[in-house]
Structure 1
Amino acid sequence: MVSDFQIFTSLRYDPSLLQVHSNPAFTHANWNYNHASPFYMLDYHRDRMLRAALHWKWESAIESLSGEAGLQLLAESITANLPRKDEPARVRVDVSEDGKLIAVASTILSVPLARLFPTILDPPALDLSSGTVFEVVVDATDNVNPSEFTHYKTSKRQVYDQARKQAGITSPAIAREVLIVDSRDGSVMEGSISTPYFFREGRWVTPLVNKETNKDWHGGQDGTTRRWALERGLALEEVVPVETLVNGEDCWISNGVRGFIFGKVKLSP
């Protein structure tokens, strides 16, 4: 039986990213296996989709995504569907069980490169006018159990869509994110479209995510920017009980389209 869902990822296309490969300020970026590219962490996006294909044993998808050829096919599929090549774009790439890649792109705003490749995660100083501050709220539905469909990013996103609707996030223009909570132990799993980071005991932490070999699922998705932050020591993995969140506390959220964004927790009264 053919699967009734697709693996997907959302990433940023941005011509300014071609500067990263040769800019000494971003030597920490380790850009796309050292290839100059206008795609934000393209290799990490490919890797996460390939891990999902391996999990479900989608042989054709594995073949499409593997090796340098898979990375090149991904880049070509996106490039062929860009509305404009001189402007940044949000790109969603779906991969089906038969290995077919479908890319859909839409224009988005520019952001500073330092927001895509930070060297540290620190709250802004006194002036917050230089960037959007997201309101970070907690999912009120409290009915999510971790599974393969929360660990891997697929088109089965009902729990995320429901949480966003409950939080009043009806448009990407709304500067709000909602935290998904594990109904079993009350820990933060992830954001609905982002990885969250919280300041605990002098360092930044992000919710613990189990490895693919552990079928006792814990946490949410092992996102691209999350992987990047962990590999560079910007944050550590740690279980984050929702009861430890404090109204008004500073946090960060990140994803493969917008990079790293400052936020503040807002708890219901």
Structure 2
Amino acid sequence: MTDNSQHEAYEAQPFKFEMFTSLRYDPILLKSLENQDLSFTKDCALYMPVYHRNRILEAARYFNFTKAIPLLKDGVEFQTKIMQFIEAYEQNQRENEKPLRVKVIVNREGELDVEINSVPEVELSTLYPNTLTLPSKEPEEPLEVSPLTGGALNMGPTDYQPVPNHNTSPQKHTIYLDSATTTQSAHTSLKTTHRPHYDASRTRHVKTMPEEVLLQNPKGEITEGSLTTPYFFRNGIWVTPPVHDGHGGQRGTTRRWAIEKGLCSREEVVRRESVVDGERVWVSNGVRGFGWGVVVKGR
């Protein structure tokens, strides 16, 4: 994404947009040594803040948001400003120690804003799993999906409002394949508020929040989910679609972690026709962590 002519073309587009990233705030992360290694300070309850800062800094450099770069280059300041918003939110709501979805927005003037809302509790293993091994059986009873969607997909072993003595088996989710194609652009590779392609794909297929849709490029290759990174089991290993060299798809934070840790073995092209009805796939994002779903063809 470094071609100068392409860069100038995006600068000349008439629409306005901002950069953003959505991440989880969760006190349970204070117990995670893994998360502390991905934070700018060792007492951080934000989910992978280093990766989130890196993705938004990459976007700032590409789109020439020069006034935002000094703030983003200072990771401690970036993290501190986010926490100030969270502390004000908790004081206003008169509650704390609750997990939150934190949407961090940075505009061309270098101003940072944060939108916050509650999300369901999850186990630490949902945020930092040791393996992508799928559950051996379906839940024995229905699980209660939380109304606290937080603008992100309910895709995890405990992505519902906790109920005492409730069955905690992973919930089965429905994943559709988009019937239309999405052409790669800087706005599919980098996280910005210009998202009509994702909105359109969800409008075509998604009726309720626990559902997801997988996008495809004009070559018939799966690129990503509308809210998540997908992982497919191919030839005995877990793979995820490439995000460079014209394939499309965003360079997600949990995606990067899964590859670096070897849970996902490599990037690999996944053709739309290779995805079968009933196939189980993993998905992840920076608010909900990791979960799985079942592909249903036909909608």
Q: 1:133 to 1:219 in 2, by over 3 A?
A: same
Shift of 1:218: 2.2
Tell me the residue number matched to 1:126.
Answer: 137
8 Å CA contact 2:40–2:49 kept in 1: the answer is no
Pairing of 1:145-224 with structure 2 (within 5 A): 145-169=183-207, 171=208, 174-183=209-218, 185-210=219-244, 216-224=245-253
1:251 corresponds, among 275, 278, 281, to 281
**Higher mean Cα deviation, 87-96 or 77-86?**
77-86
Q: 1:115-144: CA deviations, max 9, x gaps?
A: 1001111111225352322211111222x1
Could you tell me how far apart the structure 2 residues matched to 1:66 and 1:268 are?
46
Quick one: distance in 2 between partners of 1:136 and 1:192? 10
Identity %: 39
1:69 corresponding residue in structure 2: 77
Decide whether aligned partners of structure 1 residues 164 and 109 sit closer, same or farther in structure 2, where only a CA change above 3 A counts. Answer: same
Q: Which amino acid aligns with 2:84?
A: E
Moved more, 33-42 or 253-262: 33-42
Alignment of 1:138-149 (within 5 A): 138-142=177-181, 144-149=182-187
How far did 1:19 drift? 1.3
1:79 CA displacement: 3.8
Q: Which portions of structure 1, spanning 4 or more consecutive aligned residues, are displaced by more than 4 angstroms?
A: none
Amino acid at match of 2:233: F
Amino acid at match of 2:184: P
- Tell whether the 8 Å contact from 1:139 to 1:181 is kept in structure 2 after alignment: yes
Aligned alpha-carbon RMSD (Å): 2.0
Q: Is residue 44 of structure 2 the alignment partner of residue 14 of structure 1?
A: no
Aligned amino acid, residue 216 of structure 2:
V
Task: Find the aligned partners of 1:125 and 1:137 in 2 and give their Cα distance.
Answer: 22
Give SS of 1:197's match: strand
- Residue of 110, 113, 132 corresponding to 2:124: 113
Query: Where do 5+ consecutive residues of structure 1 fail to align?
Result: 22-26, 211-215
Residue 70 of structure 1 aligns to a residue whose secondary structure is: helix
How far did 1:42 drift? Answer: 1.2
Compute the TM-score of the two structures, normalised by the length of structure 1: 0.88
Checking the alignment, whether the CA contact within 8 Å between 1:164 and 1:178 is kept in structure 2 is yes
- Give how far 1:224 is off: 0.6
Equivalent residue in structure 2 for 1:227, among 228, 238, 256? 256
Secondary structure at 2:67's aligned position in 1?
helix
SS at 1:130's partner residue?
Answer: coil
Which runs of 5 or more structure 2 residues have no equivalent in the other structure? 1-10, 140-167
The residue aligned with 1:261 is: 291
Amino acid at match of 2:213: V
CA distance in 2: counterparts of 1:223 and 1:31, whole angstroms = 14
Using the size of structure 2 for normalisation, the TM-score is 0.79
1:33, 1:202 → 2: CA distance? 36
The count of residues paired between Structure 1 and Structure 2 equals 254
